[in-house]
């Protein structure tokens, strides 16, 4: 049993109750990042980390490459869910997301995108119902394919120190000292996704938009 399965064991049990599942609605949960081993621990890949943790918590196998993304199909909070990590590199994420949304016939308001946010302190989570890209190139690409009206989970990674360029900062790995807070962020992001799937984006925003550093 993985760390995430232990942490979310009760939710995993619920996910296995297939007789109560609702297949009428399908959701696409997308984590943004760059593919490849050298990017795995980067701040820019916190979206990938989130969907990896979500897949582990719910025992969803996500190894199939389809429509320019690694995808997995499963059930979370009584909903049919596709988990995806675009393999296009960050700036072309919309190519994969657009293909997946069309292939699975998922409307934009059922596409939830998880990504890094420079303008939020590390440890801060902000969900939004819709909006612009805020300078994030991966989000710009997705908006070009889906428009603005899709929900998102923004995970703060803080601004770069000193005069370091943002492009270099986001491609640095999280430090060892960051790991405890990073694990807390990923766990809270999973809880936010669960609330979104079980209830709606408004309740998820009300319950989970917060800084974990203040707790």
CA–CA separation, 119 and 91 (whole Å): 18
Structure tokens at 206: 């009300």
The radius of gyration of the chain from alpha carbons, rounded to an integer in Å, stands at: 16
Buried/exposed code over 15-40 (b: 16+ C-beta within 10 A; e: otherwise): beeeeebeeeebbbbbbbbbbeeebe
Nearest to 155 by CA among 8, 3, 68, 32: 32
Residue 175: Cβ within 10 Å count: 10
136 catalytic per annotation: no
- Among the listed residues 44, 136, 145, 208, the single catalytic one is 44
* 3-state class (DSSP) for residue 68: coil
**Start-to-end Cα distance in the chain:** 28
Q: Which residues are catalytically annotated? A: 44
């Amino acid at each position: 049993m993985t760390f995430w399965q232990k942490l979310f064991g009760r939710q995993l049990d619920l996910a296995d109750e297939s007789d109560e599942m609702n297949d009428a609605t399908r959701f696409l949960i997308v984590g943004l990042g760059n593919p490849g081993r050298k990017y795995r621990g980067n701040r820019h890949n916190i979206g990938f980390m989130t969907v990896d943790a979500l897949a582990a918590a719910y025992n969803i196998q996500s190894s199939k490459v389809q429509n320019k993304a690694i995808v997995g199909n499963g059930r979370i909070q009584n909903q049919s869910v596709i988990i995806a990590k675009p393999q296009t590199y960050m700036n072309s994420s919309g190519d994969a997301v657009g293909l997946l949304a069309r292939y699975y016939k998922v409307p934009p308001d059922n596409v939830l995108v998880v990504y890094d946010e420079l303008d939020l302190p590390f440890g801060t989570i902000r969900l939004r119902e819709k909006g612009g890209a805020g300078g994030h190139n991966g989000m710009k690409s997705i908006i070009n394919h889906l428009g603005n009206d899709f929900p998102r989970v923004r995970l703060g990674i803080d601004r770069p120190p000193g005069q370091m360029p943002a492009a270099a900062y986001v491609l640095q790995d999280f430090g060892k000292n960051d790991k405890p807070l990073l694990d807390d962020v990923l766990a809270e992001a999973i809880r936010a996704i669960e609330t979104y799937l079980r209830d709606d984006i408004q309740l998820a925003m009300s319950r989970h938009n917060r800084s974990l550093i203040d707790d």
